[in-house]
Amino acid sequence: EVQLVESGGGLVQPGGSLRLSCAASGFTFSGYDMHWVRQPTGKGLEWVSTFRSAGDTFYSGSVKGRFTISRENAKSSLYLQMNSLRAGDTAVYYCARGDGGSGEDFDSWGQGTLVTVSS
Amino acid sequence: QSALTQPASVSGSPGQSITISCTGTSSDVGGYNYVSWYQQHPDKAPRLMIYDVSDRPSGVPDRFSGSKSGNTASLTISGLQAEDEADYYCSSYTSSSTFVFGTGTKVTVL
């Protein structure tokens, strides 16, 4: 069974930093693209970042230059380093798995971790 | 990248069919057969319901179907059931090698 478990969320002041983690199990982590998607309370989903199994990384314009995605295949873990945080970054952050084939979708999701940016 | 446009709400009675539209541009929906749909119940993580425009993952009821014409994709739920009441989001791969989600549609079963 595929499992994705996020951790590292919490309350941080504007301008601060936070590092999210996603522990994966139940599949061969190194063979899959992995993604971060966020959702402000009561609002819609927003794609944040992707780390391809081939090594490429991509970011949304709203986080580029502030967030860094990384992965550690030996530990089946995905990370999101978030710097220069703003109130607009407040959201539940989900870790999601790509479909592993030629498609471009998010076929498994974690339960999410809440990040609150506030003074 | 602007969010894909979805109707804010759609409703139907049990047993009826409803369709949710998802409108983008030639740089996303219209340019790739990489449209997917997600169901999200309150305080739950999203669930993949349709991928590659019209394919269903195992375990998703066949009353869920997807299609695309030009820059607009659609999700149809046939034989609407009470448990289908949820928020639905479309997503598309884009020409910038990024992803974009739709604005979301709240489905109400009357």
Tally the residues of chain A.
Answer: 119
CA proximity to A87, closest of A37, A38, A18, A14: A14
Q: How far is A54 from chain B (nearest CA, A)?
A: 14
Angle at B58 between CA B105 and CA A73, to 5 degrees: 90
- Residue B31 and residue B95 in contact, taking contact as beta carbons nearer than 8 Å: yes
B102 in A contact zone (CB under 8 Å): yes
Compute the distance between CA of residue A115 and CA of residue B78 in angstroms, rounded to an integer. Answer: 37
Number of H helices, E strands in chain A: 0, 11
Q: Report pLDDT for A100.
A: 79
How many residues comprise chain B? Answer: 110
> Interface of chain A against chain B, CB under 8 Å?
35, 37, 44-47, 50, 56, 58-61, 94, 99, 103-112
Quick one: tokens of A47? 């794609």
Band (A102; pLDDT cuts 50, 70, 90): confident
pLDDT, tens digit (0-9, with 9 covering 90-100), for A65-96: 999 999 999 999 999 999 999 999 999 999 99
Q: Do B101 and A35 touch (CB under 8 A)?
A: no
Q: Closest approach of chain A CAs to the CA of B36, in angstroms?
A: 6
For the cut 90, the answer to whether the pLDDT of residue B94 exceeds it is yes
- Give the model confidence (pLDDT) of A32-51 as tens digits: 999 999 999 999 999 999 99
CB contact under 8 A, A106 and B52: no
CA-to-CA separations, A88 to A34, B29, B103, in angstroms, rounded: 23, 27, 17
Q: How far apart are CA B104 and CA B89, in angstroms?
A: 5
Between chains, do B46 and A61 touch, taking CB under 8 Å as contact? no
Q: Of B36, B98, B100, which is closest to A58 when you measure between CB atoms? A: B98
pLDDT of residue B6: 98
In whole angstroms, how far apart are CA B32 and each of A63, B6, B93?
25, 18, 7
Q: What local confidence, expressed as pLDDT, does residue B102 receive?
A: 98
Position B101 pLDDT exceeds 90:
yes
Place of tokens 């999701």: A109
Query: Which residues of B are less than 8 Å from A109 in CB distance?
Result: 45-47
Q: Which two tokens stand for residue B47?
A: 């669930």
Instruction: Tell me: pLDDT of A103 over 90.
Output: no
**Confidence band for B61, pLDDT divided at 50, 70 and 90:** very high
With contacts defined as CB-CB under 8 Å, which chain A residues touch B36?
Answer: 103-106
Q: Is the pLDDT of residue A101 over 90?
A: no
